Amino acid sequence: MAFGMSSEAINKAKPYVAMVSLQFGYAGMYIISLVSLKRGMSHYVLATYRHVVATLVIAPFAIVLEKKIRPKMTLPIFLRIVALGFLEPVLDQNLYYLGMKYTSATFSAAIFNMLPAITFIMAIIFRYKLVSF
């Protein structure tokens, strides 16, 4: 037991600790990204490095843990993967880093936290059915 806490209290605290750790990770990413951009790194290269590192870290887990439950690769699934692979890293990350290059990490963090609200407004505009849990 850590600091005299019961295992039940530790289990209840895990989501909060994970969220705080995630926010520190985001803050570190903002700072490292901004310093890299201000020192002359291309936002294209930074986005590429970020996704290469993410692939190297996450791919082994996906290969080992989801080896038997992966669906068959059909043409529609492959085309969806290609479309998502193009939209997220190419458009999203490059525009994000380009904006960070011309503004600040604080502004980028504030805008990043507004994404759910912007998504909600766009869903209303395009009359997309929202799923509630």
Question: What is the pLDDT, as a whole number, of residue 75?
Answer: 92
Cα angle 96, 90, 86 (rounded to 5 degrees) comes to 140
Instruction: Write the pLDDT tens digit of every residue in 20-34.
Output: 998 888 888 888 888
Determine the pLDDT at residue 130.
Answer: 62
Helices (H), the chain: 7-38, 43-65, 75-86, 94-102, 105-113, 115-125
Q: Which of 24, 23, 26, 87 is nearest to 34 (CA)?
A: 26
Higher local confidence (pLDDT), 43 or 2: 43
The Cα–Cα gap between 7 and 97 comes to: 42
Q: How high is the pLDDT of residue 99?
A: 79
In the block, residue with structure tokens 């590429």: 48
> How much is the pLDDT for 73?
82
51 CB burial (10 A radius; 0-12, 13-18, 19+): middle
Residue type, 64: V
pLDDT tens digits along 62-117: 888 887 777 788 899 889 888 887 777 777 788 878 877 787 767 777 777 787 78
* Tokens found for residue 9: 């209290």
Angle between helices 94-102 and 7-38 (to 10 degrees): 70
Q: Rounded distance, CA 126 to CA 118, Å? A: 12
